[in-house]
Amino acid sequence: MVFAQAASAATPVACDPGTYYSISNKHTVWEPTNLYSDWGAPGVTLTYNKTASGTWSATGTATVGADAGVIFAKASTSFSVAIGKQWTRSSSWTYSATVKKVAGKTRGRLRMYHEARGFTVKKVQRDRLCRTTKVYYTVNIVAPIKANSNLWKIEYK
């Protein structure tokens, strides 16, 4: 008879030591850009007709510093869409919309919003035994997608 030796519960599991990033709490958001019309009263039709550069930069990146490139690459893979620290697009836009009467609001304006991804990134250091030896940070980041995915809407004040 041949007997196999039982694995000991105390036998440590070997890991590749190193720095690891995890992406969680993933969601889509629409962030306001720097492109907007003048204000109009209810009933006024606003037209935005301009050649300009629309821009929007990621938030929450100051904490991650030099790791930003690694984090955006990991998040892009996780979302299956390219994201980055900044989005810029130069083009000509023409849009019109009528300001509606909204309770408690006296005016509205057209504004471009750009599609972005929100997520939490966590950076940890692990040793050979898979123990987390140091947590460097956990940061909430909102980053623009690199594609030209925009939404015009009226914002009210």
Quote the pLDDT of residue 152.
95
In the predicted model, what is the mean pLDDT of residues 18-37?
94
142 within some domain: yes
Helix or strand (DSSP H, E) at 80: none
The residues pairing with 56 across neighbouring beta strands, listed in sequence order, are: 87
C-alpha 114, offset from chain centre: 11
Residue 86 sits in which domain range?
A: 23-156
What percent of the chain clears pLDDT 70, i.e. is strictly above it? 91
18 or 133, which is more confident? 18
Instruction: Determine, yes or no, domain membership for 17.
Output: no
Q: Which two tokens stand for residue 18?
A: 């190193």
Is 126 within the bounds of a domain? yes
Residue-wise pLDDT for 135-146, tens only, equals 878 789 999 999
In the chain, the number of structural domains is 1
Q: Is residue 8 in some structural domain?
A: no
For 85-125, what is each residue's pLDDT tens digit? 999 989 888 999 999 999 999 999 999 999 999 999 998 99
Residue 71: C-alpha distances to residues 28, 48, 105 (Å): 17, 36, 40
Residue 58 falls inside a structural domain: yes
Distance (Å, rounded) from C-alpha 64 to C-alpha 69?
Answer: 9
What confidence category does residue 3 fall into, taking pLDDT thresholds of 50, 70 and 90?
very low
